[in-house]
Amino acid sequence: MEAEYIAASEAANEAVWMKKYIQELGVVPSIAEPVVNFYDNNGAIAQAKESRSHHRSKRILRRYHLLREMVTRGDVRMVRVNSIENTTDPLTKSMSQIAHTQHLDKMGLRSMSDWVYVKWEIVKIGDLEAN
């Protein structure tokens, strides 16, 4: 839970900074909504929403508890996402090839063999046009 909470704090900190930067630029006028961050760890979400410390959180540095303040102020909204819908799971967990491929498609990533095939097709078409 500690690692997930620290990662959530770092992600929220960066997201709030980017939001404030975009607000100051005046590029997106509708950016007043809170930043929505998705997490699959119930412990990290509960830790961020509770104002009291637990014995498990005593080793977490004070600076990471800024996440609680950001949630309380309404700068960040933490939303639970199921592992099945968590697009980043292939980066941290093993899964079936079908599920892995579906998540990679959601991220916009392609297999290296797809790139080799596409490159071969481009070269082949180029050779035909040269003749």
Residue 129 has pLDDT above 80, yes or no: no
CA gap 84, 40 in Å, rounded = 10
Q: Phi-psi bin for 53: left (phi > 0), alpha (psi -120 to 50), beta?
A: beta
Mean pLDDT throughout 52-62?
A: 57
pLDDT band for position 54 (cuts 50, 70, 90): low
pLDDT of res. 59: 55
Mean pLDDT throughout 34-57?
A: 68
Q: Domain ranges in the chain?
A: 2-130
Q: Phi-psi bin for 96: left (phi > 0), alpha (psi -120 to 50), beta?
A: beta
CA gap 120, 100 in Å, rounded = 25
Per residue in 3-14, pLDDT (tens digit) is 777 788 888 889
CATH code of the domain occupying 2-130: 3.30.420
pTM score over 0.85: no
